[in-house]
Amino acid sequence: MYLKDSKTIVVKIGSSLLINDKKIIRDKWLSEFSKDVKELQRLKKNLIIVSSGAIALGCKKLKLNKKNLKLDKSQAVASVGQIELMNLFKKTFELKKINLSQILLTLEDTEQRRRAINAKRTFENLFNLGFVPVVNENDSIATTEIKYGDNDRLASRVAQISGADCLILLSDVNGLYSKNPKIDKNAKLIKEIKNIDEKIEKIATRSIGEHGTGGMKTKIDAAKICQISGCHMAIANGLINRPIQNILNNNLCTWFLPKISKLDARKKWIISSISPKGLLIIDDGALNALKNGKSLLAAGIKEVKGQFNKGDHIKILDKNMLEFARGLSSFTSDEISIIKGKHSNKISNLLGYVSKSEVIHKDDMVEV
């Protein structure tokens, strides 16, 4: 139900789905999963894959045991494993004529506003080009202080910054159960969760294998991020073949429902926590364009005040100095001072480099 209605979908694949306990790559599973991806493309869905497995595949290549790795060595192993991981995806997905790209992220890329905006634009451009981004944490350079710690959290942040409608965490169980289904036959699958209360927190028992680092607790943490991002999230069984098809046909999973709409979540994100760094004064033509849902272009800007960088939160005022909206700037204040009042096709010549035409994109603006 929720999956069918989603336009942009993030799917997280754990290490244990790609490589088993005997360090054997699960080629058949990945081949079947590629059929799911092809079907989502046929349905005109935008898809992002968040995949673990770099360190696990690096360990396989180097004949090492992951449990004995220290941080500095695991970073080197991840560097080796990244190539193994993308080669595995490329070899499998090109048989279905699916184009892949790779994006490596660190915690700072999603926590810092300017980097998050750049990441969002990259995802959008890849969708327009017909590519499926494969995202992983940049384990080869991330230190303990700047690591997500698990790819469940990474996947939820990717869903948040990409404006995804739905996140699917593929696990080794059908979803969240009332009790541990591996030891209690009376355990029942919880189909929908609206509020993550103390009871749900207690149910989320932790389970760790050799290759994976997460458990049900990290999935609950991911669900909390999704709920305040306006994004539906599902925990589903990834061990079966065609796991996405199984959700579409049988809805056998646990759904976490968002607490607010995606639009409201983005508005809160735009204006949250940071006071405006500057302001733009616009003319009547630009004001009317904004009222009709358009982006703010340089031609309509009369004056710039304050010092700010790309991605900073700024105010938009009309000629009477009344605040109309707030938004995230695509240019620095110095750049806007150069291009204000000018047509968009003059921006490249004025700045000396090719840039986007919108000073503030409509999706990065909130009317106040």
CATH of the domain at 351: 2.30.130.10
Residues 156 and 284 in one domain: no
Boundaries of domain holding 357: 274-367
Report pLDDT digits (tens) over 314-325.
999 999 999 999
Q: Answer yes or no: pTM beyond 0.85.
A: no
In a domain, 1, yes or no: no
Residues 177 and 319 in one domain: no
In a domain, 286, yes or no: yes
| Alpha-carbon distance values, 225 to 9, 63, 135, 167, 189 (Å) | 15, 36, 18, 11, 22
How would you classify residue 98: left for phi > 0, otherwise alpha for psi between -120 and 50, otherwise beta? Answer: beta
pLDDT at residue 349 is higher than 70 = yes
Residues 155 and 117 in one domain: yes
Q: CATH number of the domain at 242, please.
A: 3.40.1160.10
Residues 250 and 345 in one domain: no
In a domain, 3, yes or no: no
Between 202 and 33, whose confidence is greater? 33
In a domain, 18, yes or no: yes
- Mean per-residue pLDDT over the chain, rounded: 88
pLDDT at residue 209 is higher than 50 = no
Report pLDDT digits (tens) over 131-140.
999 999 887 7
Burial of residue 165 (number of CB atoms within 10 Å: 0-12, 13-18, 19+):
buried
User: Final residue of a domain: which of 249, 267, 285?
Assistant: 267
For residues 280-293, average pLDDT: 96
In a domain, 315, yes or no: yes
Q: H helices of the chain, where?
A: 15-18, 27-42, 54-62, 71-93, 107-111, 113-129, 151-162, 198-203, 216-227, 243-250, 262-271, 284-291, 333-339, 347-351
Residues 238 and 350 in one domain: no
Report pLDDT digits (tens) over 14-43.
888 999 888 899 999 999 999 999 999 999
In a domain, 80, yes or no: yes
Q: How far apart are CA 77 and CA 143, in angstroms?
A: 14
User: Final residue of a domain: which of 242, 267, 292?
Assistant: 267
User: Final residue of a domain: which of 208, 240, 267?
Assistant: 267
Q: Which of 126, 127, 170 is nearest to 151 (CA)?
A: 170
In a domain, 330, yes or no: yes
Residues 296 and 195 in one domain: no
Q: How far apart are CA 346 and CA 367, in angstroms?
A: 28
Task: Give the chain's domain count.
Answer: 2
| Alpha-carbon distance values, 94 to 32, 86, 126, 204 (Å) | 13, 12, 17, 37
For residues 254-265, average pLDDT: 89
Predicted confidence band at 103 (pLDDT cuts at 50, 70, 90)?
Answer: very high
Report the pLDDT value the prediction gives residue 147, as an integer from 0 to 100: 64
